[in-house]
C-alpha cells in the first residue's frame, strides 16, 4: 500500500514535470512508471506501507538493492539510468517542497553506459528507397504517396517521428513551425521535392485533410508512430534495408549525411532541435567511425 500523502505528492510531482518542466508526455509516462516500479519494490523489500517515514529512512543499500533487482529482471542499462534519474527527480521535488531531504540518494551514481553511436541508413540505400515507384503492389496509390511523403519529410528535415505526425495539413508551406522536445518551437524549411510529394499525397488521399493531421492511416485516423515502424519493418525486409532501419533512423541519416558533406555542428544542432551541442557531437563520432572503417579497409598495410 502507498499512503495518501505519498500519492498526493506523486501527483504534484507529475504536474511539476508536465507544467513547470515542460517534459513531453512520453517522458512523464516513463518517469511515472519508474517511480511506480520503485514503490512496488519497496513494498516487498520493506514489507510495509510506503509513507514518508519509510522514505526518510532509505539508505544507499536500499537503492542499490532496487537497481540490482532491475538488473536481474533484465532491464537495460539505459533504462536503469533513466529510472534512477526519475527517482532522483522525485526526491528533489520533495526537498524543494520542504517535505523531506534525503542525502543517501545523492551517493548513488548512475550506471556506466557503453557509448552507442547512431546508425544511419547508407545514402545510396535511402535515396533508392525514396524513389521507388511503389512499395507493395496491392496498396492503394495514396498509401504509397503518403509513405513517400512521410519518409522524404523525415530524411529532408531530420524531424522526430512524433514531430512529423503532429503536423496539421494547414501548417504546410515552404517552411513549418515544429513543436519539439521541451515544448520548444523551431522552424523547418521544406525542399521543393518534399512539398511536391506532400501535395501528391494530399491530392490522392480519399480523406479530407484540410482541418486534420497531415498523415492518416487507412481509416482516416491520425497515423501512429508504432504503425509507421511496423510497416517500415516489412519494407526493410522487402527492399533489403539495414536491420536498424526505423523512422528514427531517417533522423540519424539526415544528421550524419549533412556532417559527412561538411555541415557545421551548430547548424545541424539547430536543424535537429537539440538543446545541447553535445547531443549533436555524437554524429561526428559516427563520421569518424565510418572514416576509420574506410581507412582499415583500404590502407595497404591492412591488406
Place of cell 507544467: 19
Spot the catalytic one: 23, 151, 155, 283.
283
96 is known as an active-site residue: no
Residue 134 vs residues 139, 148, 202, 231, 235: alpha-carbon distances, Å: 8, 9, 17, 14, 11
Nearest 10 degrees: Cα torsion 264, 270, 274, 278: 20
82 is known as an active-site residue: no
Contact present, 10 and 55 (Cβ < 8 Å): no
Spot the catalytic one: 70, 160, 197, 252.
160
64 is known as an active-site residue: no
251 is known as an active-site residue: yes
Count CA within 13 A, CB hemisphere, residue 299.
8
Spot the catalytic one: 148, 197, 257, 274.
274
Spot the catalytic one: 18, 88, 181, 186.
181
Helices 277-298 and 265-272 pack at an angle, to 10 degrees, of 120
- For residue 213, the SS3 value is strand
Q: Report the chain's C-alpha Rg in angstroms.
A: 23
Question: How many C-beta atoms surround the C-beta of residue 260 within 10 A?
Answer: 16
Question: How many C-beta atoms surround the C-beta of residue 203 within 10 A?
Answer: 10
181 is known as an active-site residue: yes
- What is the spatial distance between Cα 39 and Cα 33, in angstroms, rounded to a whole number? 10
Spot the catalytic one: 82, 146, 197, 251.
251
Kindly state the helix (H) or strand (E) to which residue 288 belongs, with its residue range: helix 277-298
Within 8 A by CB and 6+ apart from 86, the residues are: 30, 31, 34, 35, 38
289 is known as an active-site residue: no
- For residue 2, the SS3 value is strand
Q: What is residue 17's DSSP assignment?
A: I
Place of cell 521541451: 182
Active site residues: 160, 181, 248, 251, 274, 283
Amino acid at each position: 500500500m502507498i499512503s495518501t500523502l505519498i500519492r498526493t505528492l506523486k501527483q504534484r510531482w507529475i504536474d511539476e514535470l508536465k507544467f513547470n518542466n515542460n517534459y513531453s508526455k512520453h517522458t512523464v509516462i516513463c518517469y511515472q512508471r519508474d517511480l511506480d516500479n520503485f514503490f512496488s519494490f519497496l513494498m516487498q523489500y520493506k514489507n510495509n506501507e510506503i509513507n514518508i517515514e519509510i522514505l526518510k529512512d532509505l539508505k544507499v543499500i536500499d537503492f542499490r538493492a532496487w537497481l540490482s533487482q532491475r538488473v536481474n529482471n533484465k532491464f537495460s542499462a539505459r533504462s536503469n539510468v533513466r529510472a534512477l534519474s526519475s527517482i532522483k527527480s522525485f526526491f528533489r521535488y520533495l526537498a524543494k517542497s520542504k517535505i523531506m531531504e534525503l542525502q543517501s540518494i545523492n551517493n548513488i551514481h548512475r550506471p556506466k553506459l557503453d557509448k552507442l553511436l547512431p546508425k544511419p541508413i547508407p545514402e545510396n540505400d535511402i535515396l533508392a528507397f525514396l524513389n521507388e515507384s511503389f512499395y507493395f503492389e496491392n496498396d492503394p496509390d495514396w498509401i504509397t504517396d503518403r509513405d513517400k511523403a512521410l519518409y522524404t519529410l523525415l530524411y529532408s528535415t531530420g524531424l522526430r517521428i512524433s514531430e512529423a505526425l503532429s503536423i496539421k495539413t494547414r501548417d504546410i508551406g515552404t517552411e513549418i513551425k515544429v513543436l519539439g522536445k521541451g515544448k520548444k518551437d523551431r522552424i523547418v524549411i521544406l525542399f521543393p521535392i518534399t512539398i511536391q510529394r506532400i501535395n501528391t499525397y494530399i491530392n490522392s488521399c480519399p480523406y479530407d485533410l484540410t482541418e486534420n493531421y497531415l498523415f492518416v492511416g487507412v481509416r482516416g485516423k491520425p497515423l501512429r508512430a508504432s504503425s509507421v515502424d511496423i510497416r517500415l519493418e516489412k519494407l526493410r525486409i522487402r527492399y533489403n534495408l539495414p536491420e536498424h532501419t526505423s523512422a528514427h533512423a531517417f533522423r540519424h541519416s539526415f544528421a550524419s549525411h549533412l556532417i559527412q558533406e561538411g555541415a557545421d555542428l551548430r547548424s545541424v544542432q539547430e536543424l535537429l532541435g537539440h538543446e545541447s551541442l553535445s547531443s549533436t557531437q555524437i554524429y561526428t563520432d559516427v563520421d569518424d567511425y565510418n572514416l576509420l572503417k574506410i581507412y582499415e579497409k583500404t590502407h595497404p598495410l591492412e591488406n
